[in-house]
Structure 1
Amino acid sequence: MFHAASSLVPSPSSTANEKDQHRSSPDGRSKQRDAFFDNAKYLAIVLVAIGHSWEPLKGDSRVLQATYQFVYAFHMPAFIVVSGYFSRSFDGSPARLKRLVTGVVVPYVVFETAYPLFKRVVDHDTGTPVSLLDPYYLTWFLCALFIWRLTTPIWRMIRHPLPVALGIALLASAAPGVGDTLDLQRVLQFLPYFVLGLCLRPEHFRAVRNWPVRIAAVPVSALALVFSWWAVPRMNTGWFYHRDSAQELGVPWWVGPVMQLALFGCSLLLTACFFSWVPGRTTWFTTLGAGTLYGYLLHGFLIRGADYRGLFELDALHRPLGEVAVTVAVAAVVTLLCTKPVRWAFRGVMEPRMDWAFKRDITAPEQVRVPERQPVRERGKREKVDA
C-alpha cells in the first residue's frame, strides 16, 4: 500500500500485493477484500486437513473411502486454481520476487527442516534425512507454488497457455524419469490448475455462482459420490495424489495421459460445484481465509504427531461415531490455526519482513515532490508583480 505525506506524492512503484486483488469481486462489488475468495480458501483448507485425518482411518469403511476420493478429486485443484488467480500480477519485479522469497521460500526451508526433525523426536526415527530437494509431506505445495509463480510471466505471454500446461501434465504422467526431486511429478501434473487460475477472470467466478449452476451442482455432486463408492475397489487412490507416473502405479504408460485427462475434467466439474456453493457474503470464517497457509502447514504436525503416537489405531476411531469425531475435531483445530493469534505467533517464519537481507530497490522511481498550492489571493498578487 502506498503512503503519501501532505506534500509528497509517491510515483508508481511495484504493483500492490496479492491482497489488493481481492478488490475484484465475482459479485461485481468493490471491496477491500473479497469475501468469496477468503471463504473459498478457508473451506478448501479445512477439506485438506480433514482429508489428511481420514487417510489412516479410511481402510475400514467403504463410505469413508468413497468420501475421501470425492474430496481429493477437487480440494487441492480448487486451492491451486485460487492460488493461480492471485498470481496473475506476478511479473518478476524485485518487489514480487522479495515477496516470493519471504512468503514461500523461507516457510519452505523452515518446515522442510522442521517436519523431519519432528519425526525424529516424536517417532524416534533417526533415518529421516533433512533434504531441501525432496519435499516432505505438506511442503510440496510451497515448492510447487515457487516454481509455478516463477513461470507465470511465460504463461501470461504465450497464446494458448492452458493446452500447453495440460500437454506437459499428460507427458509427465507417462514419464517415470521425472523423479522425486522437488516433487516435480506433482508440480507438473497439478500445473494445469494453476495455469487455469491465471486465465480466469471475475466474470468466470460469477458464472459458476448463478442459481442454475448451484442447483445443478447438487445432483452432480451426488452422482460423483455414488461413482466414488463404485470406484473404491476398482481404482487406485494414488491417481488423486498426482505424485507418480502410470508405470509407477503398475499400469501401461498410455493409461497415465488418459487418467490425467479424465481426472482434470472431473476435478474441474467438482471444483465448479464447490465454488458455486461458497458464500459470497462475509461470514464468521471469512477473516480466516487470510491465514490458510498457517492452517495448512501447522496442522500437519498434529496429524503426524497423532499418527506417530498410534492414536489413529484406537478402535473407537474406526467406528462411524469415531470418524465423525475426528472430522469435527480436525476441522476445529485447523480453524484455530487460521486465527489471528496463531498468525501473530508464527509470522516470523511464515511472513518475515527480512529487509536486512535485500538491497533497496534501485529500480523503483523516487518520490516526486509536488509544490503546495498557494492561496488564490497570494497567487494573484504574485502574478501582478511578475507582470
Structure 2
Amino acid sequence: MSANSLEHRGETFFLNLRFLLILCVFIGNAIEPLITRMQGMHSLYMWIFTFHMPLFVFVTGYFAKSGLTGEAGRKTIAQIGIQYVIFQTVYSTLDMTVFRVNGIHHSFFAPYLLLWFLASHLCWRLALLLLRKCKCSPLQQLAISLAFGVLVGYLRLDGTWLSISRTFVFLPFFIAGYHFSFTALDNILTRRIRAAGAVVSIGLFLIIALGGAGLAPGWLYGNMTYMQLGHLEWYAGLYRLSLYGLQMLAGACFLAFVPKAASLLTECGRRTLYVFLLHGLVIRFMAVSPLYDYIDTAAAGLALIAAAVIMTLVLSHPLVRKWTSPVIEPKVQWVLNLERRALGGSTAVGKHQ
C-alpha cells in the first residue's frame, strides 16, 4: 500500500472518529441535566466522559501534523484566537441578556464552558512548539507532559482560570496524537481486535451502570485540582496517573466502533468545528426551557438522545457551514499582515502563500 493511500485512509478513519466524538459531546451535554435523577443517563454520561475528551484532544493533535509550524501554524493560532474572542463574547453576552444565567465568570481569562477547548488548543500548540524547540524526542515530550498533567493538580488555585488545569491534564493526549502513526493502528485493528474492544467498552459501561466505578465526574472533567476534588494527600497525583490508564483503555476500546471506510460520517467529520461552537446555543435554549421537566421516563430520555443525534447532523450540514463560516472560520490573513508590519517584514510573502 502506498504512503499516500495509507495517509488517506488515516484521514478518513480519524474524520469518522471526530464525528462520532462530537456526537458524544452533544449527547453528553444534552443529558447532563438528567444525570442526578435518571441512573441510565448517569451511566451513559460517565461512560462517554471516560473517553470522549481525551480522544478528541488526541484527534486534534493528529490533525495538527499538517499545520503546526510555518504560515499554516500561524494562521491556525490566529484563527483559534479570533474564534475564542468572538464566541466568548457571544456566549457571555447571551448569558447576561437572554438566558439570565448566574454564577459564571464572564472574563476572557475564564473560558466560557465549552470554550475551554479553544483556549487549551492554542496552549497545546504553543507547548508542543516549545518542546520541539528544546529538541525533546517524542517520548521525552510525552513524559514531560504527563509530569505536568500530574503536577498541575497540586496547585492551590481554581483550575478553570486560563483553562490551566485542562490544558496540562489533556496535553499528553495532544502530543500522543501529533506523533501517532496510523500504520500501526491499521495493522492492529483487525476484526477480532475490534470485537474484543467493543466487548471491553460495553463491559466498562456495565461496570459504571452497576455502580462499580465510584469515580467523581470532576476527575474526568480535568478542570479541578486535587484540593477541589477533596484529596489533600501527597500521593493524590497517583490517582490521576491511574485515571490516565483508564482513559487510554476506554479510548482505545472506543476505536472499535469507528468505521474505516469513507461515508457520510467522513464528510460530517470535516465540519465538527461548526457543531462544537454552535451546539452550546442549542443546549442553552434547552436548559432555560421547560423541556427537562417533561423528561422523566426512559422513552423520553431516548427521544432526547435521538434529538441530539439529529441536531448534530443538522449543524454539520454544508448549509450551516455556508451561513456561519465568517464567524466560525474567520479570515486571518490580515492578522498575519499586521504581524509582518509590526516586525518590519514584507506583506508580499502572504500574497504568495
**TM > 0.5 fold call:** yes
| Runs of 4+ with deviation above 4 angstroms | 125-129, 360-367
**Residue 206 of structure 2 corresponds to which residue in structure 1?**
226
- 2:287 aligned with 1:307: yes
Q: How many matched pairs? A: 340
User: Taking structure 1 as reference, are residues 256 and 190 closer, same or farther at Cα in structure 2, changes over 3 Å only?
Assistant: farther
- 2:325 aligned with 1:347: yes
Residue identity in the other structure for 2:119: C
Q: Secondary structure at the match of 1:281?
A: coil
Residue identity in the other structure for 1:259: Y
Q: Using the alignment, how far apart are the partners of 1:101 and 1:282 within structure 2?
A: 31
**Residue 16 of structure 1 corresponds to which residue in structure 2?**
none
Instruction: Flag the structure with higher helix content.
Output: 2
Out of 276, 288, 295, the position equivalent to 2:268 is 288
**Residue 85 of structure 1 corresponds to which residue in structure 2?**
62
The structure with more radius of gyration: 1
1:72 Cα deviation (Å)? 0.5
Out of 203, 209, 217, the position equivalent to 1:237 is 217
Q: Using the alignment, how far apart are the partners of 2:41 and 2:334 within structure 1?
A: 49
Residue identity in the other structure for 1:320: A
Out of 70, 74, 85, the position equivalent to 2:47 is 70
- The CA deviation string for residues 308-350 of structure 1, in whole angstroms up to 9 with x for no partner, is 2232222xx1210111000000111011101111111111011
Conserved 8 A contact 1:172-1:178? no
Q: Using the alignment, how far apart are the partners of 2:185 and 2:163 within structure 1?
A: 30
Q: Secondary structure at the match of 1:185?
A: helix
- 1:143-154 equivalence runs, <5 A: 143-154=119-130
Q: Secondary structure at the match of 1:87?
A: helix
Residue identity in the other structure for 2:18: K
- 1:59-138 equivalence runs, <5 A: 59-102=36-79, 104-125=80-101, 130-138=106-114
User: Taking structure 1 as reference, are residues 65 and 199 closer, same or farther at Cα in structure 2, changes over 3 Å only?
Assistant: same
User: Taking structure 1 as reference, are residues 95 and 57 closer, same or farther at Cα in structure 2, changes over 3 Å only?
Assistant: same
The two structures have a TM-score, normalised by structure 2, of 0.88
Q: Using the alignment, how far apart are the partners of 1:127 and 1:165 within structure 2?
A: 32
Segments of 5+ residues of structure 2 without an aligned counterpart are none
Q: Using the alignment, how far apart are the partners of 1:24 and 1:178 within structure 2?
A: 46
User: Taking structure 1 as reference, are residues 171 and 231 closer, same or farther at Cα in structure 2, changes over 3 Å only?
Assistant: farther
1:90 Cα deviation (Å)? 4.3
1:296 Cα deviation (Å)? 0.8
User: Taking structure 1 as reference, are residues 30 and 139 closer, same or farther at Cα in structure 2, changes over 3 Å only?
Assistant: closer
Q: Secondary structure at the match of 1:235?
A: coil
- 2:315 aligned with 1:337: yes
User: Taking structure 1 as reference, are residues 334 and 245 closer, same or farther at Cα in structure 2, changes over 3 Å only?
Assistant: same
Q: Using the alignment, how far apart are the partners of 1:117 and 1:30 within structure 2?
A: 42
Q: Secondary structure at the match of 1:131?
A: coil
Q: Using the alignment, how far apart are the partners of 1:204 and 1:118 within structure 2?
A: 46
Q: Using the alignment, how far apart are the partners of 1:365 and 1:306 within structure 2?
A: 44
What is the RMSD of the two structures over their aligned residues, measured on CA atoms?
Answer: 2.5
User: Taking structure 1 as reference, are residues 286 and 94 closer, same or farther at Cα in structure 2, changes over 3 Å only?
Assistant: closer
Conserved 8 A contact 2:61-2:175? yes
- The CA deviation string for residues 279-300 of structure 1, in whole angstroms up to 9 with x for no partner, is 1111122211111011011111
Q: Using the alignment, how far apart are the partners of 2:197 and 2:141 within structure 1?
A: 28
**Residue 35 of structure 1 corresponds to which residue in structure 2?**
12
Aligned identity (percent) is 28
**Residue 385 of structure 1 corresponds to which residue in structure 2?**
none
Say which is worse superposed, 90-99 or 245-254, in terms of deviation: 90-99
Conserved 8 A contact 1:40-1:278? yes
Q: Using the alignment, how far apart are the partners of 2:236 and 2:211 within structure 1?
A: 17
The two structures have a TM-score, normalised by structure 1, of 0.81
1:91 Cα deviation (Å)? 4.6
